[in-house]
Amino acid sequence: MNLKHVLAGFIASAFISLPVLAADVTTLRAATWLPPGNPQNTTVWPTWAKWVEEATEGRVKVVIEDYTGHPKTLFSAVEDGILDVASTVNTYLPGRFKLPSVAEIPGEISSAEGGSVALWRTYQEYFVEADEYDGLKVLSMFVHGPGQMHTKFPVNTLADMKGKKMRIGGGLVNELAARLEVTPVNAPATKSYEMLQQGVVDGTFLPAQEQKALRLTEVTTDLTLFPKALYTTAFTIFMNPDFFDGLSKEDQEAILSVSGEKLARMAGAAWGGADAEGIAAAKAAGINVVELAEDDPRVLEMQKLTEGIDQFWIDDVADRKVDAAAALAAFRKHVAEEEAKK
């Protein structure tokens, strides 16, 4: 064997032993701003990451990174390519994303899973063309479980809320707060523990799961549960469009196949399922947990108090090129379809 053949064999064997797969893997950086015990981190991101890696046959790997900035800045961080994917609350950026607030109207949902699927379908049918998400690639939407009252005082009647300082996250819960005559304090959900501990607020509107996830058992005394949502919060999961466009057509289709309604259903189920854990944690900690029946005077009073908030939403989105009344009817139809499956 001459030197030429020896070198050729050496080079061939060297290439065979190289980790060629490493060069073919695209890393997708997903940002999370929520605490470790939140279902977004225990279930949603890990499950979606697994789905993405399986759907792309390992060509795209999802890395989940902690984000310490204000959650509203995630929109610009992804838009500017600092991060590839994120999820956050639409109303943390007031005025830009108004249409998904259809899911935040009081009394519309009792299930986060059903509400999430209904929101995604309504977005696809009515909201896409309004282009509220210009500069972002929308992957999915979801809502958390029914918003409830976490307080440092008992809520024997709705009059007990008058004048109390309540942390709110924005959106249609602002209108609810005004009708309850509470003093609203706008802040992200993650600030609730600190604000309650320091006496900045007397309570917070959040889903029941936060008794456990945000450790509200340590800083509240009462959890008042309404049978249907006082409100809920709409989240969007979005990607940098340049990152998406840089993927192969095959991988684009693979990621979309595990996003959309599939991701909305999974995220809603995860967030809604965590409510039972929150209620259990509250009871174990000695919190006064009051589960209101449909005919409870507080429920009937709340129904009367929130009348017309659906029209408030329709009027608020009048500057968007959508048939808001038809979109609301479609959302309600999809909610009813999902709840009929239960």
Residues 93, 136 contacting (CB under 8 angstroms): no
pLDDT, average across residues 281-295:
97
In residues, how long is the chain? 342
- Ordered domains of the chain (ranges, CATH): 3-340 (3.40.190.170)
Q: Write out pLDDT tens, residues 222-258.
A: 999 999 889 999 999 999 999 999 999 999 999 999 9
Question: What whole-number distance in Å separates Cα of residue 171 and Cα of residue 80?
Answer: 25
Residues 136, 239 contacting (CB under 8 angstroms): yes
Confidence bin at 197 (pLDDT 50/70/90): very high
Residue 141's nearest CA partner among 163, 125, 154, 153 is: 125
Confidence bin at 163 (pLDDT 50/70/90): very high
**Cα 45 from chain centroid (whole Å):** 12
Tokens of 201: 């607020």
Phi, psi of 182 (to 5 degrees): -90, 165
Residue 22 in this model has a pLDDT that exceeds 60: no
pLDDT, average across residues 71-90:
97
Residues 133, 238 contacting (CB under 8 angstroms): yes
The full 3-state SS of 126-189, as one line of letters, equals HHHHHCCCCCCEEEEEEECCCEEEEECCCCCCHHHHCCCEEEECCCCHHHHHHHHCCEEEECCH
Residue 147 in this model has a pLDDT that exceeds 60: yes
pLDDT, average across residues 153-168:
97
pLDDT at residue 23 in the model: 52
pLDDT at residue 6 in the model: 40
